[in-house]
Amino acid sequence: MTETEPTLTNVVIRAALPPDAADIARVHVEAWRAAYVGIVPQAVLDRLSIDRRQQFWANRLTDPGESRTFVAICDGRIAGFAGTGRPSDPEHPEGTAELETIYLLPEAWRIGVGRLLIRRSTGDLAERGFSSAILWVLTENERGRRFYEAVGWQGDGRVQMLDFDGTPVEEMGYRLDFRGGSTGPG
């Protein structure tokens, strides 16, 4: 490894607070623009607004309800976040949560920060009595799918279509059971 490559030497995971909304919004937009090129129409990526995302996150962090959001602080600044809540689809049994979001700045990819964030999120869900969690991932998001599979999630056969400006984009369901308190490997 060269001296300029990022490392995991200084990473802190903590619960997100309302003043984090602007940083989370910036991570959200930068991650979308880097991860979804060629998957989500470019016009949709170009229109993403940090201000609108900031408003969303300010509201969510001020009035979280059952949602929980964690941030990853790398070398003193927010480099990623993950959020959980109740599944939007009411067909899931009681005890099922949803990993709604996990995004990192591109420069923080593939150094283990995502693993720390998702472990914190699923650990929190297990501690709060949830027995399993589901998520949706764009089928063409190979990076995301490899990541989820590496940390113990499995495709559960659910498929749904999203509509981005009239372009249909498929997403797949994944699931993790917290058997015996396990929230996934490593």
Ligand X SMILES: CC(C)(COP(=O)(O)OP(=O)(O)OC[C@H]1O[C@@H](n2cnc3c(N)ncnc32)[C@H](O)[C@@H]1OP(=O)(O)O)[C@@H](O)C(=O)NCCC(=O)NCCS
DSSP letter string, 104-166: E-GGGTTSSHHHHHHHHHHHHHHHTT--EEEEEEETT-HHHHHHHHHTT-EEEEEEEEEEETT
Piece of 12-20, 60-68, 144-152, 155-163 that binds ligand X (CB under 6 A): 144-152
Distance of closest approach, residue 8 Cβ to ligand X, in angstroms: 9
What DSSP state is assigned to residue 24? H
- Indicate the Cα dihedral angle 139, 131, 28, 58, nearest 10°: 150
Q: Is 110 in the site for ligand X (CB under 6 A)?
A: yes
What are the two backbone dihedrals, phi and then psi, of residue 10, each rounded to the nearest 5 degrees? -135, 70
Contact map string, positions 20 to 49, toward ligand X, x by CB under 6 A: -----------x---x--------------
Q: Is 133 in the site for ligand X (CB under 6 A)?
A: no
Q: Is 152 in the site for ligand X (CB under 6 A)?
A: no
How far is it between the farthest Cα atoms of the chain? 50
Find the residue with minimal CB distance to ligand X: 114
Among 137, 169, 172, 176, binds ligand X (CB under 6 A): 137
Nearer to ligand X, 64 or 109 (CB): 109
Q: Is 8 in the site for ligand X (CB under 6 A)?
A: no
Please report, as ranges, the residues that interact with ligand X according to CB under 6 A. 31, 35, 102-104, 109-115, 137, 141, 143-144, 146-147, 150
